[in-house]
Amino acid sequence: MIQVIHAQDLLKALEAETVEKSQPTIATFKGTHISIGHSVETRKKGVLEISSMNRFWNRPIPDSEPTQTFVADKWNSRVGLDYGVLDRFTVGAGYSTDNRSVDVFGKYRLFYQRDSGKTFPFSITLFQGGVYREKSSIRLPLYEGSPMEKEVSSKDKFAATTQVLIARKISRNFSLQIAPTYVYRAEDGLVADESAHHFALGFGARYKVSNHVSIVSEYYYVPNPVDFVDTYGPFSLGANWELSDVLLQFKLTNARDFVEDQFIIKTGNNFNFRDGNLHFGFHATYFIQL
């Protein structure tokens, strides 16, 4: 009897002495990318991440023509480095092969979601990216009305993306993100009656199926797509698998590029299973604590 009373007392006494502290909610998403776009997550101070991002796809070739390519006809790849300058501030840079582009970005965690103590419902991160793309997607007439074409000048090969990433870890398994996005693409402004300014709204979600595997999906809605070429909203469906220091991301998507301005505004094919439209994506991110 004495023991029972004692035991209950001890746990109650410990409980009574507890001071509840407000803790930020961790791991809304596991990586700095949900699938194709950025997530609210930043890396902690002193963390270096090396990432290899790849997309594979087949060219649309009529059935009568034999194909000779092994596994996939085309491949686009981006190698990137991300570094956590502060717990809240991550910078990164990368090079993609398809358009020979060099991109840099910075993202700053403005608010952490807090579920206990002093609560806050969302995580909010500001994202700013910039890119120089050597291979332009458009050709300009040499002079007014000329059939000859010229290359876009270097100063018009820049583009920038600004995003407000807003996410909530709704339950321990399910997280949702909304991303109002502004894109500036200098080369689009050169086309008659087109603007260099674009807006989009991104949606992203992840569902954790086990402690190490989650299913992720992303879609960007572009309300005013460009007129001079057919574009489609980029969509992605994939799985993320965590293995100690490595994060593996597999996906099916219609987005061919890795840099935000290009895949959000200029994805030129729809999402379906035909050659030329279906892209298989594989990202590997290696984590190093410096």
Partner 1 sequence: MNKLLLLLVSVYSISFAHAQDGYITRQGEVTFFSYTSVENIQATNNQVLSLFYPSSSRIGVQILMRAFTFKKSLMYEHFNESYIESDLYPKATFEGDIIGFDANQEGSQTRIIKGTFTLRDITKPIEMKATIIKTNGAYTISGELEVLIKDYEIKVPPILSPNIAKNIQVSFKFQYVPNDDQK
- What are the φ and ψ backbone dihedral angles of 280, each rounded to 5 degrees? -95, 130
Q: Which is nearer to partner 1, 87 or 194 (CB)?
A: 87
Q: Are 43 and 84 in contact (CB under 8 A)?
A: yes
Q: Are 204 and 234 in contact (CB under 8 A)?
A: no
Here's the x/- map for partner 1, 16-45, by CB under 8 A: it reads as: xxxx---x--xx--x------------xx-
Residues 6+ apart with CB under 8 A from 41: 27, 28, 29, 30, 31, 32, 125
Q: Which is nearer to partner 1, 242 or 257 (CB)?
A: 242
- If one asks whether residue 170 binds partner 1 (CB under 8 A), the answer comes out as no
Residues 6+ apart with CB under 8 A from 16: none
Stretch of 6-14, 141-149, 230-238, 261-269 lying at the interface with partner 1 (CB under 8 A): 6-14
Q: Which of 103, 187, 188, 242 binds partner 1 (CB under 8 A)?
A: 242
**Residue 103 bridge partners (DSSP):** 94, 131
- If one asks whether residue 47 binds partner 1 (CB under 8 A), the answer comes out as yes
| CB neighbourhood size of 215 (10 A) | 15
Here's the x/- map for partner 1, 172-211, by CB under 8 A: it reads as: x--------------------------------------x
Note the Cα 103 to chain centre separation in Å. 13
Tell me the number of residues near partner 1 by CB under 8 A: 32
Q: Which is nearer to partner 1, 18 or 68 (CB)?
A: 18
**Residue 141 bridge partners (DSSP):** 149
**Residue 48 bridge partners (DSSP):** 83, 288
Distance in Å, CB of 141 to partner 1, minimum: 52
What span, in angstroms and rounded, lies between the C-alpha atoms of 38 and 207?
A: 16
- If one asks whether residue 118 binds partner 1 (CB under 8 A), the answer comes out as no
Here's the x/- map for partner 1, 213-232, by CB under 8 A: it reads as: --------------------
Task: Please name the amino acid found at residue 216.
Answer: V
Q: Which of 144, 192, 243, 273 binds partner 1 (CB under 8 A)?
A: 243
What span, in angstroms and rounded, lies between the C-alpha atoms of 55 and 155?
A: 28
- If one asks whether residue 71 binds partner 1 (CB under 8 A), the answer comes out as no
- If one asks whether residue 117 binds partner 1 (CB under 8 A), the answer comes out as no
- If one asks whether residue 6 binds partner 1 (CB under 8 A), the answer comes out as yes
Of 199, 114, 189, nearest in space to 164 by CA: 199
Q: Which is nearer to partner 1, 68 or 171 (CB)?
A: 171
Q: Which is nearer to partner 1, 42 or 267 (CB)?
A: 42
Task: Please name the amino acid found at residue 65.
Answer: E
Q: And the tokens for 11?
A: 């746990």
Q: Which is nearer to partner 1, 44 or 100 (CB)?
A: 44
Show contacts with partner 1 in window 249-288 (CB under 8 A). Answer: 287
User: Which residue has tokens 């796809």?
Assistant: 57
Q: Which is nearer to partner 1, 211 or 272 (CB)?
A: 211
Listed in order, strand segments (DSSP E) in 25-73 are 47-57
Interacting residue ranges for partner 1, rule: CB under 8 A: 1-2, 5-7, 9-11, 13-19, 23, 26-27, 30, 43-44, 46-47, 172, 211-212, 242-245, 287, 289
